[in-house]
Structure 1
């Protein structure tokens, strides 16, 4: 199974610095990044080596500096703070996250209580909640649905975080529909196509494998969901940062090893894992194709360096 899409926009995320050899910006100024650009330690370390300075909040960024917003999106309040500090902003929000933000504004404007299915504290959820404070509630599980408090049960809609488990999300939506029969759904699925495709691939091959290896970082929601997808089918599954994290005991008796990667994991990490497995013994690689991902997003204008 393959990893993330190659190049500058793996998983639909614009990566600052693409097109600029070595450095991040030809202007020579520091490039600040609010939060991790994507939830992958290797991507973050690579950008740090090239001069990116990662910060948690904008008050750590000197006024007038260049700052990149991460793929997970930010709230309107953060955008307002950037303007107040005179920051030059490169918005690397994933377009699929931007879609959810727009839906949140639209649903709240028509008078709905918007139920956001997602993980409390996740950066994407925090940013989306900021679009309609006072009109949104978060649910993380089917059990949470019973405690949702809405002003008008006839005016409820739902949205989802883009990196959730498809099956579990469907169960929550079903529970919401039972409680609020008139609940309105987004016009199209919010869960990222890259997340969905990888989960479907794991579901199709996990039972035929002795062990599943998922290349991704521990704070990557979609990577963790892949491990869970394998485990739901009774397959031993491990989340690994890279090839160095493989424990020989995991694969000592394995005849079939399933391998996939989180949406933000560079494809090179998958190649390194395959090379490591080959160093331990003969390996035949068979790629399982669920669908061909041919979606491309236009990068922010500020990243199109000449």
Structure 2
């Protein structure tokens, strides 16, 4: 039995999780929440992580009923993500590894989401829709790589939702996407928005620009309510994502879909994907906010797989990389 701890801090969620092989022992998270209408900046986010990392670590160890000496391997997020926040958790992970002479493993954030999703849902070889604040990708496994079959060509879908929430001055507590989702349930009128699918890729920046251009007029004339606009944005961007997911499924011949990443918590996205899957006699795998949203457990899961097959990361390679592609990782643990 091997016990692994995972440190995640690539954006505004600071997470530390502990696993023993496939068993989750603790999953603690602290989110940096900014005032309505504001996003989170690297320097302030990094300061949040510095302020809270030790208390989150202490809570994770308490929940697992362990002390740091019981940990066999230290895992941390190498990237992708925001540079300053990434370095905070990397520094803590490196310090613990050095102090207690523990092996350390640098983990790709996206691979963490996928392996966590596969573990929790039991999916074997799914087409993966990875949707978050910083990433939007359609992924499938082939020849020891997670291959990207389609992605955003500009901003991520989560970033689009976040920036839209700022336009409406929606609260960032617990997250902009969650508050959009709740308002969308009350929307009744579908506003025509750009629908931009280019082959297997999608684009969201034009949708956002279109809304920015017309928002004041729509709200002033009461042509659309904020609830209508939340509903319209969700329906449009989710339809785009489902179109390219279905096309990837047809191409690679899979009958499973796994949704991962923070936006994957959205019940409407899951509902729309479920409809498509039923039409294809496919199975949808999705998780709730405990595992969709960035967390330390996912880093521990992927890190432990890496450690068992490849061993520890060389000390000189325990750095951070803001741009770290999903398909850059050699997936040695899968056949």
TM-score normalised by length of structure 2: 0.27
Of structures 1 and 2, the one scoring higher in RCO (CA 8 A, sep 6+) is 2
Q: Which has the higher strand share?
A: 2
